[in-house]
Every structure is written in structure tokens, then in C-alpha cells.
Amino acid sequence: MVRIGIVGCGGRMGRELVRQVLETEGVTLAGGTEKPGGALVGEDVAALAGVPPSGILVTEDPTVLFDAADAVIDFTTPAATLLHATMAAHTGTTLVVGTTGLDDAALSQLGKMARQTRIVQAPNMSVGVNLLFALTRQVAATLGIEYDIEIVEHHHRHKVDAPSGTALGLGRAAAAGRGVDLDAVADRARDGHTGPREDGHIGFAVLRGGDVVGDHTVVFAGPGERIELTHKASDRVIYARGAVRAAQWAADKPNGLYSMADVLGLG
């Protein structure tokens, strides 16, 4: 039985994670945290998620959660995630990171912390999206540079980062398939008289509006044909399901930094 804790358990994703833990065989809820002084501190973790009370109360001290849990799932903010990674390294607790907006420096820091524990990090925890990552890399490796690559993503109006972490992950997958560095070929914004498209570049288009959970399309536009790979999320449960699966998978693994591709056996 893997004891799983949820940091940020009162948010939309946190509540979904709590429900998923309570519904999954082989795991149990270790607890949940919210910001110090927040209105939800002291509330029943399960009741916040809309299920019968568990008797486990929301705490504002993550050190208590890391001491009590075998694994902690984190869909918070980059700064909070790095703090939690330090705690995970100190306690040897598995950390599953679904936080978006992590830059290269933050990812490097996670790698250092993973020398002392198991960290699973992915820009998207969905099984379907991670299959899309693998397919994108394969198609990019197969097609020549005459196929232009564009990544289009659409999220709800409240999302704060752009392009999404998933879109950037798809860009990295496409760049890896071509054997190039994404930063060297990414076109993340276009405005005004930009001139013709540069060969080999990977473009990003960002849409924000409504309550869209997350739509992503990778377009390979070549002479005379166009190939499109699309994933559409209609329920956040897919992210929670993947995160819980990652926590279970990592339970008996050696220390190290893993991805959902490792969890799913995709590479």
C-alpha cells in the first residue's frame, strides 16, 4: 500500500488528485497541504474533494506530509516544487511533479535532488499525451526538413503560462526527433511583418479562452500534404490518473529523475 500525499490539495487539480487516490486500489491517502494561513487549513482533505470525510485534515506544514507519505504529488508552482524537491531528498520520499512552467535551471535542480530520492517529472501526466510525445518524436525523425512543424495549443482562460508546458514538451520531442536544440529553432511568437518562415523552425501558436481543459495539435506541413497529431483533454482526471500511476510505479525504483515515458515504458 503506497501512502500518497497531495500538496496544494485544495486547488482544482489537488481535489482531483485526492479523489483519484481514494478511488485507486493499492494506494492510500497520507494527507494534504495548503498555503500557511489559508482558509482551507484544518478542513477534511477528502471532504474538500467532494467525497465522504476521511478524518485527515489539511495541514499547512509540508514537512509533516513528507514524513508521513511514501510519495507526494505536486501540481503547484515552480518555486514551491523546488522547495518540495528539497524536502523529498531529505526524507527519501518519492516526488511526482506535474507542475508546469519549470525552466532549465529548475529541471537541473530536480535532477540534483533526484540523486537522493525518486522524482518523476513530466510536463503532462496524461497517458495519451505521453504517447503523443513519443509519436511526435518518431514522426519528426522520419520526415525531412521540408515538413514545417507547428504546435497549436488551447487552454482555459485562467492558465497563466504560455506556451503550455505540454506544448513545449511536444516541441522538445520534435526537436529531439530532428537532432536539434529546441531553443535554437523555436518561434514562440509572431507579430507584424515577420517575413517568410525559416526552414527547420518549430512554431508555437497559443489560444486562451473558455473552460478548455487542454487541446494540443502537432502539425507537420509538407509539400502537397499535412499530417496532424492531436490530443484533446476533456477531464482533468486523466492527469490525476497518470500521476497516481507514476507514484505507484516509482515505489520500488532506484533514486533518479524519471519521466512518464519511463513509467509507461515508451523509452
Active site positions, annotated? 155, 159
From CA 156, how far away is CA 66, in angstroms rounded?
32
Angle, helices 237-250/127-142, rounded to nearest 10 degrees = 90
Cell of 209: 479562452
Say if CB 143 and CB 222 are below 8 A apart: yes
> What's the farthest any 2 CA atoms get from each other in the chain?
62
What are the residues whose beta carbons fall under 8 Å from the beta carbon of 104, sequence distance 6 or more?
A: none
Cell of 25: 486500489
From CA 4, how far away is CA 251, in angstroms rounded?
11
Report CA-CA distances (Å) from 145 to 39, 91, 141, 142, 216. Answer: 54, 47, 10, 10, 22
Residue entry with cell 523546488: 82
